[in-house]
A and B are shown apart, each in its own frame.
Chain A
Amino acid sequence: MRAGLLILAIGLAAGCQSAPPPAPGLAELVVHVQAQPKTGAQPPPEKVQVFDTPRTSDYDAFAKVDYSDLGQIVVWLQPLEPSAKAPSPKAITVAIDPVKQSNGLQHVASVGQPIILHNASLAPQTIYSVSDGNDFDFESVPPGRGVKYTARSPGLIEVLTNSPAAGAVQVYVAPSPWVRVVRSGESIRFDNLPPGQYRLVSWHPRLPGAQETITLPPGRVTDASIDVSVNSLPKVSGAR
Chain B
Amino acid sequence: MNAHFFQITLFFYLSGTIAYLIYLVSSHERAAWSGRHLLGVGFVSHCLTLVLRYIEAGHTPVINFHESLSFFVWMVVGFFLLLRHHYKVEVLGAFVSPLALLLAIWAAVLPKEILPLPPVLRSWWLPIHVTFAFLGDAIFALSFCAGVIYLIQERFVKSKRVGSFSGRLPSLEVLDEINYRALTIGFPLLTIGIVSGAVWAEYAWGSYWSWDPKETWSLITWLLYAALLHQRLAVKWRGKKAAVMAVVGFGAVLFTFLGVNLLKEGLHTYSEWFR
- The reply to whether chain A is a binding partner of chain B is no
Point out residues on B near A: beta carbons under 8 Å. none
